[in-house]
Each structure stands twice: as C-alpha cells, then as structure tokens.
Amino acid sequence: MFSLLARFRVVGHSMEPFLKNGQTVLASPIPYIFLKPKVGDVAVFKYKGKTYIKRISKIKSDSCFLEGDNIKDSFDSKKIGWISRQQIIGKVVYKF
C-alpha cells in the first residue's frame, strides 16, 4: 500500500540525541522518488520484518550503510551490513 506519510514511534536509544525513545516521526517515500538518498539523511527501513530508523552514513550504487547516532547502543549496518534501496521505506521528514 502506498502512503504519502507514515508515522513511526522510536523504540530504543540508538538515535539519541537526535531522536529519543518514545518519540514519533513522520517518514515519506516521496523524497526518494525524485532524489537519491544522501549521507546524513535519517531513513526508515525494513530488515527481516522489523522496522528501523537510522542515519545514512555511506552510499554505494543501490545500497546504503545506516548507523545509529548513539554509537554505543545501535543495531545497525555495522551488524547487519549494507541495506538495499528497496528496503528503505522513506526519509524522516518530521519529528515530534
């Protein structure tokens, strides 16, 4: 199902200080229809049926390396490897 905006709740401390545990964000696939993901974007992606929110730190061809801002407490590409663009749901466009 295509959605212009999707709401996600942050679970855990991996994106602190930018995003806090329990905070809500809105993500949209629209930015990545017109532009490629870029380093520094905060993206929502799926991995093995779970949804994660991380920052893109590296890009190569059609894959992104995503890391949490909290280096000491993050399940991210350092553990799971590169994420394909197809796994990315959208870019975080608003936090509240």
Q: Given pLDDT bands bounded at 50, 70 and 90, which one contains residue 43? A: very high
Write out pLDDT tens, residues 61-91. 999 999 999 988 899 999 999 999 999 999 9
Q: Does residue 39 carry a pLDDT above 70?
A: yes
Q: What angle do CA 31, 72, 53 make, to 5 degrees?
A: 20
Query: What is the model's pTM?
Result: 0.93
To the nearest 10°, report the CA torsion of 24, 10, 15, 39: -70
pLDDT at 2: 57
pLDDT at 81: 97
The rounded distance, in Å, linking the Cα atoms of 48 and 31 is 24
Q: Does residue 1 carry a pLDDT above 90?
A: no
Four-residue CA torsion sign, 4, 96, 77, 11: negative
**Secondary-structure class of domain 6-95 per CATH:** mainly beta
The CA R_g of the chain, rounded to the nearest whole Å, is 12
